[in-house]
Structure 1
Amino acid sequence: MALPVAPIAGFALRYGAVALAAYAATRVAATGRRDQRVEDAMDETPEGVTLRRDDEQINGTLRWSRSYRLGRSGPGVEIDATGFARIKVKRLK
């Protein structure tokens, strides 16, 4: 039985383009740095969403933490996502 090459070539082209774009993005992106003060602030952030409004800015935080396990004693993973936002608005004269 003959193997249809056209559909396979389409998938290979698509995934090859995605792999090439990911490779190019990793080569262009600058290496980030780790600041321990920021790490500590993220660890102290309460779970959920918080908003605070001052005269000239609004600050917001978000923390979402969940644990997932396969079975009772199977392998698991813990996901802890934290985000900060600051929006400053100034009136120009």
Structure 2
Amino acid sequence: MPLPLAPLIPLAVRLGLVATTTFALTRLVQSRVHPGRTDQRAEDALDELGEGLTLHRPADRSADPGDSQTNATARVRRVIRFRGRAYELDAGLMARFRLRATGE
């Protein structure tokens, strides 16, 4: 007895369209996304951060009255246990906010 495949054709067409669209979107996103880079100096600086939150204004960066800079750092290190497994969370953040007066 032959197997009726005609009812499966609409499903196969839909799946083919979804697969083609997904492949095309993936290629488009990959072609437009910058691959990024890892700077070892920045990695070392993040490793040396102390735990907690700091906010400071360096005196050597504010010699000019029209120029001010504020630096912030934050680091959280925790061990999270979930379902019998342990995960180490190490999140670090370094930020700089600089405000300069212009001649306009």
Unaligned regions of 5+ residues in structure 1, if any?
1-15
The 3-state SS of whatever aligns with 1:89 is strand
* TM-superposed deviation, 1:24: 7.2
RMSD, aligned CA: 2.3
Cross-structure match for 1:49:
53
Partner of 1:86: 96
| 1-structure distance, mates of 2:29, 2:98 | 31
Query: What is the rounded CA distance, in whole Å, between the counterparts of 1:39 and 1:31 in structure 2?
Result: 17
Within-5 A mapping of 1:5-84: 23=26, 27=30, 28-54=32-58, 55=62, 56-70=68-82, 74-84=84-94
Helix, strand or coil: the match of 2:44?
helix
Amino acid at match of 1:64: V
Deviations 1:69-90 (A, max 9, x none): 236xx32111111011101111
Count residues in correspondence: 72
CA drift at 1:32: 1.2
Structure 1 runs of 4+ aligned residues shifted over 6 Å read none
Partner of 2:3: none
Give the TM-score of the pair, scaled to structure 2: 0.59
Greater gyration radius:
2
